[in-house]
Amino acid sequence: MTNEIRVVVIDEQPLYRDGVVTALASAFKKKIIEQGATGSDGIRLCLSLDPHIVLLGVTERNEAIETTRAIAEKCLSAKVIYLSTPGDEGAIKEVLQAGARGCLSKIVSGPELVRCIMAVHEGESYVSPSLAAQLLSRPAPRNRSVRNDNVFSTLTVREHKIMQAVALGLTNKEIAIKLVLSDNTVKRYMTQIMQKLHVRNRLEAVLLMRSSGVDARTS
């Protein structure tokens, strides 16, 4: 990576923060990395540093949601990646609605953390395959919306294949390789899919699949 990237790491545990910073320092040649322990630290650092990426690992749900919302409103260049702890998958949808652009499990590997940061930094949304699998494996609501089913029926065969890949956590570049398409073609398809599903990003599309009972995990 040749361009400077500014990253803020927010987590209550200093040892975990240090591990993340070490992983990023070895991956990026040019970087500015700042640390904080609370959501308030995250907002303050965003206002002073104007970062590209905020890794948000606070465990209290309301703090995570309000911090994400505040950063999205006050720091337009910052993209929040929510670091989820085991068992708090229920908070993911709310954090996404508040403006997060990515979700990872805190037990993610260093390479996947870097992969997620790069995808979000380049304008994509990202959910780790493990979280996507957990979200899609949860039982769908009994009274799921007929509207949701009808919306998914408007997707073409190609769009369904792309959503299958999205559900597995693949980035646009990986989807392009898998389906033998160009990156720009995949981006155009994703724009069409989000318009048809009336969602703001691919993460909301994955959550909509789960809530509607649509299985996009198999070809």
One-character DSSP codes across 177-202 = HHHT--HHHHHHHHHHHHHHHT-SSH
What pLDDT, in 10s, does the model give residues 149-207? 567 788 899 998 998 888 777 888 889 999 999 988 998 999 899 888 888 777 778 77
User: Which fold, 136-212?
Assistant: Rossmann fold (3.40.50)
Distances (CA, A) of 173 to 16, 133, 156, 192: 30, 20, 20, 17
Mean pLDDT (whole number) for 118-122: 89
- pLDDT of 146 > 70? The answer is no
Domain with CATH 3.40.50.2300 in the chain: 5-123, 136-212
Matching CATH number, 5-123, of 3.40.50.2300, 3.30.710.10, 3.30.460.10, 3.40.50.150: 3.40.50.2300
What is the per-residue pLDDT for 219? 43
Percentage above 90 pLDDT, the chain: 36
What is the per-residue pLDDT for 145? 47
Mean pLDDT (whole number) for 108-135: 82
